[in-house]
């Protein structure tokens, strides 16, 4: 056995032991967070505690998370090569997929809307809705439906940045009466959260679709790519 | 020890397995997979510990959902970078430091 494997095994076992012991012997947090969240719920504008924490009590985390998403997609955009998304490279040649898409797509859109709306009072919200939306977009793309409108830089950038910009704008606008950043007035909190979640859903969905589109099925092999740039085989096999 | 800790224990096991794979494997895709398994373990520990008899704590749950989204984005970004690396160098691993 290689020393690397032995080292990795010992280290993993040691960390598993330490973590397991920590889980067993943990102390209760001094702050009773569930109770504090429950007390503040009437002020949050929504009825589900996780959505309240995500978008109201700890809105900063979510704001920075959206910024991280935007950063990831900007870096991916910067790293892409000049590869126009030509139709012959896009779809799987599978008529069944196209036929099923006609049935699936409305369901996906309804599910997206439901998840977004449900976030106010049960598990759901912008992230789940955005992921489902992105899944729909990826299926469309795999079925060979054109997504060329996403190549328009203005449309793409607006869509990607919309969630973060709306979040920031709302956070800054509520400062006008003199309260801290991201402190929503109670009577408008529900509507503001819904507005933020709606734009977040669209931006998250678009971000995930863009990250996928930036790596089209396409020759990866350095040799092959030089010889025939439009070849479809390749991949990361090694 | 209670049944509620099952999730935290599973998270510990997943984290250690991921760490083992992350050290042992050199192929970048395998490393990325191992790293994601580690991340899932960490999320599971956080969610599993978010119950202490005083009710379920929504704060770690919100943190984990934030973390999942960031993990998805960083995985996608890592894949983009790996493909560029492979096209540029023809290698699927990084030159070893040692």
| Chain position carrying tokens 């599973």 | B10
Q: CB-CB: which of B55, B69, B84 is closest to A79? A: B84
CA A148 to chain CA centroid, nearest Å = 21
Rounded mean pLDDT of A97-105?
88
Q: Any CB–CB contact under 8 A between A11 and chain B?
A: yes
Query: Dihedral angle at the C-alpha atoms of B65, A207, A99, A149, nearest 10 degrees?
Result: 160
Look at A16 and B55 and tell me if their CB atoms are within 8 Å: no
Tell me which residue of A1, A12, A15 sits closest to B17, measured CA to CA.
Answer: A12
Q: Is residue A28's pLDDT more than 80? A: no
Q: Rg of chain B's alpha carbons, rounded to an integer?
A: 17
Mutate to test the interface with B, among A6, A11, A47, A76 (most CBs of B within 10 A): A76
Confidence class for position B38, pLDDT limits 50, 70, 90: very high
Per-residue model confidence (pLDDT) at position A222: 58
Q: What mean pLDDT comes out for the span A17-35?
A: 83
List the beta bridge partners of residue B56: B51
pLDDT of residue A58: 84
- Chain B residue with minimal CA distance to A75? B77
Token pair of A24 as six digits: 């067993």
Predicted TM-score of the model (pTM): 0.81
The three-state secondary structure class of A160 is: helix
- Residue A220 has a pLDDT of 52
pLDDT digits (tens, 9 = 90+) for A150-206: 778 888 899 999 999 999 999 898 888 888 888 888 888 888 888 999 999 999 999
pLDDT on residue A233: 42
- What pLDDT shows up at residue B69? 87
Q: Which chain A positions have a beta carbon within 8 Å of B5's beta carbon? A: 23-24
CATH classification for the domain delimited by B3-89, as one of 3.30.930.10, 2.40.160.20, 1.10.287.3510, 3.30.70.260? 1.10.287.3510
Q: How large is the ipTM?
A: 0.84
- pLDDT score recorded for residue A234: 41
How many whole angstroms separate alpha carbon A24 and alpha carbon A73? Answer: 40
Query: What are the residue ranges spanned by the domains of chain A?
Result: 32-217
| Candidate from B27, B52, B66 with C-beta closest to A28 | B52
Structure confidence by residue, pLDDT tens digits, A47-97: 888 888 888 888 888 899 999 999 999 998 888 766 555 555 566 777 888
* Average pLDDT of the residues in B29-57: 88
Rg (CA), chain A: 23
Q: A45 with A192: CB under 8 angstroms? A: yes
- In this complex, is the C-beta atom of B88 within 8 Å of any C-beta atom belonging to chain A? yes
């Amino acid at each position: 056995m290689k020393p690397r494997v032995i080292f990795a095994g010992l280290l993993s076992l040691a960390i598993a032991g330490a973590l397991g012991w920590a889980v067993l012997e943990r102390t209760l947090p001094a702050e009773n967070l569930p109770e504090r969240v429950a007390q503040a719920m009437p002020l949050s504008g929504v009825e589900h505690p996780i959505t309240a924490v995500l978008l109201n009590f700890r809105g900063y985390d979510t704001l920075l998370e959206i910024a991280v998403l935007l950063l990831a997609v900007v870096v991916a955009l910067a790293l892409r090569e000049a590869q126009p998304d030509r139709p012959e490279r896009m779809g799987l040649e599978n008529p069944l997929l196209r036929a099923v898409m006609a049935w699936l797509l409305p369901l996906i859109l309804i599910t997206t809307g439901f998840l977004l709306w449900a976030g106010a009072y049960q598990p759901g919200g912008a992230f789940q809705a955005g992921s489902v939306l992105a899944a729909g977009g990826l299926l469309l793309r795999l079925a060979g439906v054109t997504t060329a409108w996403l190549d328009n830089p203005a449309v793409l950038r607006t869509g990607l940045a919309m969630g973060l910009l709306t979040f920031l704008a709302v956070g800054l606008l509520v400062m006008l009466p003199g309260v801290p950043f991201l402190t929503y007035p109670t009577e408008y909190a529900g509507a503001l959260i819904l507005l933020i979640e709606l734009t977040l859903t669209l931006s998250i969905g678009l971000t995930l679709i863009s990250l996928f589109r930036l790596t089209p099925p396409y020759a990866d092999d350095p040799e092959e790519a030089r010889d025939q740039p439009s070849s479809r085989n390749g991949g990361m096999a090694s | 020890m209670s049944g509620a800790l099952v999730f935290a224990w599973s998270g510990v096991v997943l984290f250690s397995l991921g760490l083992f794979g992350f050290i042992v494997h050199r192929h970048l895709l395998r490393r990325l997979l191992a790293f994601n398994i580690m991340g899932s373990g960490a999320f599971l520990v956080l969610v599993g510990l978010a119950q202490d008899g005083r009710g379920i704590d929504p704060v770690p749950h919100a943190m984990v959902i934030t973390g999942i989204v960031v993990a998805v984005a960083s995985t996608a970004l890592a894949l983009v970078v790996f493909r560029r690396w492979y096209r540029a160098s023809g290698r699927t691993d990084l030159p070893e430091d040692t």
